[in-house]
């Protein structure tokens, strides 16, 4: 079936590329080291508009589409938020007919599989290409040599002094194309992923030495460049392989882009009118240096010409909130791997610091803060500074994120170039997150709006507000949600062996495990709830709203605290779930190996979802938007994109808790360790006393709150968190009110479509226009 769908995809993909070539519009190239695409089959047949035909054909052959679709594995070439964002944005770019391409790496091993043994996380390799990948087209003839190491020599060529880079190693980049079909359009754009292969050029040199066996082994080593995705989504460790990956993908992409441009242009005069390059965080920021290098050293443009082009074509989006999260590369490492690039970075930094001196005088503190080179015991290149200096546009991913960039992370740069800084609030695609994953709700929305046009024009969802009081809609809404809950009940039983009741409130927190995302706050709240129920009289128990608490997410393999949180979740779950006093009143489930496909199943079946990062730490957050559009209520802190969600659907339709961003800043400045609330002290006592076993192993978790300053302010936020939870219980008892809140959540979610995000980027950052291929 995949191969038959693929034929259709290739046909449209081919027509689209021909059409772009003929029209020669300004194109967007989206550079990202991570794409979390998930499955492709359902998405493809829906976007191609052939779902009914395929379902019929399969039925005739005696297969069920649902069962078949579940056989497909996820393409998990990314970690979390940033990676899923790029996938959603590709869907919007295709659907909105933008002449865009994605570029990335074809990792042989995607994000690790999470296996839980005795409550502990273990990582297993995700060899997703084991049974072949029907969605990619290998382009053996589209390949480029990528150079590493070596030396730079000065040469005198055609009356000019030139720099010539003599590489020490060459690796071949081979293209694998992944068609991305738009919805309701023939346009099918391309996601080109590069794989590393040994280079022919390299062969000759090493085989010449006579050491045949070692030459073969060396050849194989080339392939390691694209072998594995780094599973850490916050810290940079200055690893050589990571830097090689970045440059490998950037160099191949830049060569490809320049070659395509030169196919139809004889000079670079119009390059900036035809090309926009978007950097998804700083991971691809070497592209800036590579473009300058190719234009100066290989195309023989002047430095000024190359510089002007670079400044006009690049834009950068940052996904980071804390300065420590910014990427730094040791100068020595970069200098040995990419000697010519280091020279160019120094040249850029020289002119930049000269400009700074002119503007601010000899303010050495400022100069050292803003310099692209960080001085110190180890000299580093600050990739964010490099990106800001060159890019014409720097975007944050939510309004609150932009405020933080202006006032903290990039304060100095904001003072210098206020006009560069903007935000484009993130979004998610309603095609995958409703049409594919929640067909019941999709049909219901279409029925009540009287059109399915909302799948391309999401603002039409607002029309649901008119019907919110309609009892018939409310009943149908509850029925659809109930069916999704039952599907989730079955999934939970299959994954964990636990039977849970669909009558309970399903309370979900699924995302990467991080201290700042505060899964620990959630678990401590659950212990508190458990303790309360244990101490209740029978008459009181009758009033308890039954809950199924669901937590899922992966911890970076080296992140000890996150791993402890996973274990605590299991230990607490074991205790609660087997306590006969508790029965169906409370269950705690950990869903293993959380990924895109799991999210597609869990989100439509959730009643309440939690987004409770310490205010000021989540740049945006996009999980919340998927829950919102599916009519799941949010329990959240006033952080990242939640602040904008409040504006759209109203605080009265959500459960908001915790310190505000400015309060967090104040408490941290004052350095006061506030007194912990008694309920929290009691709950921590239970953990410390070994109520859930493993007291030594859990000690650092308790210490982080009680003796290490409670950096993430669990103590401060605990009471208001419990209040928000109580408010959710109260609302759930009145199912009619709850249903109305749920309908209003979906109705108000339109702003958080990636179609809106991409529309804003296209108009305000990239300057590209739709280019629609005729049917």
Given CA atoms 658, 662, 664, 666 in this order, what sign does their dihedral have?
negative
Catalytic residue among 27, 192, 244, 517: 517
- In the region spanning residues 606 to 635, those forming contacts with ligand 26W, defined by CB under 6 A, are 618-622
How many Å apart are CA 275 and CA 580, to the nearest integer?
65
Of 236 and 268, which CB lies nearer to ligand 26W in the complex structure?
Answer: 236
Binding mask 20-59 for ligand 26W (x = CB under 6 A): ----------------------------------------
Decide if 534 is catalytic: no
* Part of the chain binding ligand 26W (CB under 6 A), chosen from 79-87, 382-390, 408-416, 701-709: 79-87
Decide if 446 is catalytic: no
Contact flag: residue 640 with ligand 26W (CB under 6 A): yes
- CB 229 → ligand 26W: shortest distance, Å? 9
* Part of the chain binding ligand 26W (CB under 6 A), chosen from 76-84, 120-128, 461-469, 737-745: 76-84
Given CA atoms 281, 283, 288, 289 in this order, what sign does their dihedral have?
positive
Residue with token string 């493809």: 44
Mapping DSSP onto H, E and C, the string for 402-444 reads: HHHHHHHHCHHHHHHCHHHEEECCCCECHHHHHHHCCHHHHHH
One residue of 187, 190, 426, 746 binding ligand 26W per CB under 6 A:
426
Of 88 and 591, which CB lies nearer to ligand 26W in the complex structure?
Answer: 88
- CB 560 → ligand 26W: shortest distance, Å? 18
Catalytic residue among 12, 512, 564, 570: 512
Cβ neighbourhood burial of 724 (10 Å; 0-12, 13-18, 19+) = buried
| DSSP label of 689 | T
One residue of 41, 82, 189, 656 binding ligand 26W per CB under 6 A:
82
One residue of 29, 31, 43, 81 binding ligand 26W per CB under 6 A:
81
- CB 402 → ligand 26W: shortest distance, Å? 12
Decide if 95 is catalytic: no
Binding mask 218-257 for ligand 26W (x = CB under 6 A): ------------x-xxx-x---------------------
- CB 487 → ligand 26W: shortest distance, Å? 27
Q: Is 119:570 a contact under the CB 8 Å cutoff?
A: yes
Decide if 622 is catalytic: yes
- CB 386 → ligand 26W: shortest distance, Å? 16
Of 28 and 82, which CB lies nearer to ligand 26W in the complex structure?
Answer: 82
Task: Count how many Cα atoms sit within 13 Å of the Cα of residue 149 in the half-sphere of its side chain.
Answer: 6
Decide if 512 is catalytic: yes
Decide if 319 is catalytic: yes
Of 751, 187, 753, nearest in space to 455 by CA: 753
The encoded tokens of residue 656 equal 């908001």
Q: Is 445:629 a contact under the CB 8 Å cutoff?
A: no
Catalytic residue among 511, 518, 564, 751: 511
- CB 316 → ligand 26W: shortest distance, Å? 12
How many Å apart are CA 181 and CA 179, to the nearest integer?
6
Size of the site for ligand 26W (CB under 6 A): 21
Of 481 and 611, which CB lies nearer to ligand 26W in the complex structure?
Answer: 611
Contact flag: residue 397 with ligand 26W (CB under 6 A): yes
Contact flag: residue 282 with ligand 26W (CB under 6 A): no
Contact flag: residue 98 with ligand 26W (CB under 6 A): no
Of 147 and 514, which CB lies nearer to ligand 26W in the complex structure?
Answer: 514
Of 255 and 317, which CB lies nearer to ligand 26W in the complex structure?
Answer: 317
- In the region spanning residues 308 to 327, those forming contacts with ligand 26W, defined by CB under 6 A, are 319-320
CA 409 centroid distance within chain: 20
* Number of neighbouring beta carbons within 10 Å of residue 460: 18
Catalytic residue among 6, 564, 626, 716: 626
Q: Where are the beta strands (DSSP E) in 321-409?
A: 328-330, 373-374, 380-382, 393-396
The answer for residues whose C-beta is within 8 angstroms of residue 509's C-beta and 6 or more apart is 519, 522, 550, 551, 552, 553, 609, 610, 612
- CB 288 → ligand 26W: shortest distance, Å? 18
CA 728 centroid distance within chain: 29
The answer for residues whose C-beta is within 8 angstroms of residue 596's C-beta and 6 or more apart is 36, 37, 38, 39, 74, 76, 84, 87
How many Å apart are CA 48 and CA 26, to the nearest integer?
25
Alpha-carbon distance values, 482 to 10, 438, 504, 506, 603 (Å)? 39, 12, 11, 11, 13
Buried-exposed string 490-510: b where 16+ CB fall within 10 A, e elsewhere: eebeeebeeebebebbbbbbb
One residue of 75, 85, 444, 633 binding ligand 26W per CB under 6 A:
85
Of 87 and 441, which CB lies nearer to ligand 26W in the complex structure?
Answer: 87
- CB 556 → ligand 26W: shortest distance, Å? 9
How many Å apart are CA 363 and CA 357, to the nearest integer?
7
Of 42 and 278, which CB lies nearer to ligand 26W in the complex structure?
Answer: 278
Of 172 and 618, which CB lies nearer to ligand 26W in the complex structure?
Answer: 618
Of 206 and 246, which CB lies nearer to ligand 26W in the complex structure?
Answer: 246
How many Å apart are CA 706 and CA 700, to the nearest integer?
10
Q: Which residues are catalytic?
A: 319, 511-512, 517, 622, 626
Q: Which positions touch ligand 26W (CB under 6 A)?
A: 79-82, 85, 230, 232-234, 236, 281, 319-320, 397, 426, 618-622, 640
């Amino acid at each position: 079936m995949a191969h038959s769908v693929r034929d259709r995809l290739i046909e449209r993909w081919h027509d689209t590329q021909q059409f772009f070539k003929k029209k020669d519009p300004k194109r967007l190239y989206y550079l990202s080291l991570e794409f979390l695409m998930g499955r492709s089959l359902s998405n493809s047949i829906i976007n191609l508009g052939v779902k009914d035909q395929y379902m019929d054909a399969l039925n005739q052959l005696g297969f069920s589409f649902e069962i078949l679709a579940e056989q497909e594995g996820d393409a998990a070439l990314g970690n979390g938020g940033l990676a899923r964002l790029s996938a959603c944005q590709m869907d919007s770019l295709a659907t909105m007919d933008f002449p865009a391409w994605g570029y990335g790496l074809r990792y042989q091993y995607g994000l690790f599989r999470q296996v839980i043994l005795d409550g502990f996380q273990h990582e297993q390799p995700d060899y997703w290409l084991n049974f072949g990948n029907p969605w990619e087209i290998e382009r053996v003839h589209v390949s480029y040599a990528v150079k590493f190491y070596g030396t730079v020599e000065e040469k005198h060529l055609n009356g000019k002094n030139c720099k010539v880079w003599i590489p020490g190693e060459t690796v071949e980049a081979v293209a694998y194309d992944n068609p991305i079909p738009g919805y309701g359009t023939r346009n099918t754009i391309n996601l080109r992923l590069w794989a590393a292969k040994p280079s022919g050029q390299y062969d000759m040199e090493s085989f010449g030495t006579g050491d045949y066996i070692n030459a073969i082994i060396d050849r194989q080593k080339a392939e390691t460049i694209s072998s594995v995705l780094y599973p850490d989504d916050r810290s940079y460790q200055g690893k050589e392989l990571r830097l090689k990956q970045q440059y490998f993908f950037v160099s191949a992409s830049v060569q490809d882009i320049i070659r395509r441009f030169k196919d139809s242009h004889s000079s670079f005069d119009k390059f900036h009118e035809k090309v926009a390059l978007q950097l998804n965080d700083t991971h691809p920021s070497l592209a800036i240096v590579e473009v300058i290098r190719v234009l100066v050293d290989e195309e023989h443009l002047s430095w000024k010409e190359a510089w002007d082009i670079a400044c006009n074509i690049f834009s950068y989006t940052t996904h980071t909130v804390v300065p420590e999260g910014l990427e730094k590369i040791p100068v020595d490492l970069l200098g040995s791997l990419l000697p010519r690039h280091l020279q160019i970075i120094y040249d850029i930094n020289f002119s930049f610091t000269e400009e700074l001196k002119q503007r601010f005088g000899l303010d050495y503190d400022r100069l050292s803060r803003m310099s692209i080179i960080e001085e110190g015991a180890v000299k580093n290149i600050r990739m964010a500074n490099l990106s800001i200096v060159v890019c014409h546009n720097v975007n944050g991913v939510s309004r609150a994120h932009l405020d933080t960039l202006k006032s903290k992370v990039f304060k100095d740069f904001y003072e210098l170039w206020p006009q560069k800084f903007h935000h484009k609030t993130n979004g998610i695609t309603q095609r995958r997150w409703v049409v594919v994953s929640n067909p019941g709700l999709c049909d219901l929305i279409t029925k009540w709006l009287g059109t399915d046009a909302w799948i391309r024009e999401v603002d039409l969802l607002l029309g649901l507000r008119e019907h919110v009081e309609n009892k018939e809609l409310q009943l149908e809404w509850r029925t659809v949600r109930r069916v999704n809950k039952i599907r989730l009940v079955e999934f939970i039983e299959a994954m964990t062996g636990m039977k849970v009741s669909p009558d309970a409130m399903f309370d979900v927190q699924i995302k990467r495990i991080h201290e700042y995302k505060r899964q620990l706050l959630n678990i401590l709240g659950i212990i508190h709830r458990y303790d309360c129920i244990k101490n209740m009289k029978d008459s009181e128990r009758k009033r308890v709203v039954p809950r199924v608490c669901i937590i899922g997410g992966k911890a970076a393999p080296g992140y000890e605290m996150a791993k402890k949180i996973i274990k605590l979740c299991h230990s607490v779950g074991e205790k609660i779930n087997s306590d006969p006093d508790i029965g169906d009143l409370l269950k705690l489930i950990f869903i293993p190996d959380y990924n895109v496909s799991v999210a597609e199943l869990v989100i439509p079946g959730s009643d309440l979802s939690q987004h409770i990062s310490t205010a000021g730490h989540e740049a945006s957050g996009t999980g919340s938007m998927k829950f919102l559009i599916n009519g799941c209520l949010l329990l959240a802190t006033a952080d990242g994109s939640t602040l904008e969600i409040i504006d759209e659907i109203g605080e009265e339709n959500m459960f908001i808790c915790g310190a505000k961003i400015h309060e967090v800043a104040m408490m941290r400045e004052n350095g006061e360790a506030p007194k912990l609330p008694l309920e929290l002290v009691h709950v921590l006592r239970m953990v410390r006393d070994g109520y859930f076993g493993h007291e030594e192993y859990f000690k650092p978790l308790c210490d982080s709150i009680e003796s290490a300053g409670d950096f993430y302010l669990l103590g401060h936020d605990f009471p208001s968190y419990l209040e928000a939870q109580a408010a959710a219980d109260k609302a759930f008892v009145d199912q009619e009110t709850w249903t109305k809140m749920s309908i209003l959540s979906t109705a108000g979610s339109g702003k958080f479509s990636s179609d809106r995000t991409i529309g804003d980027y296209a108009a305000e950052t990239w300057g590209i226009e739709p280019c629609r291929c005729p049917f």
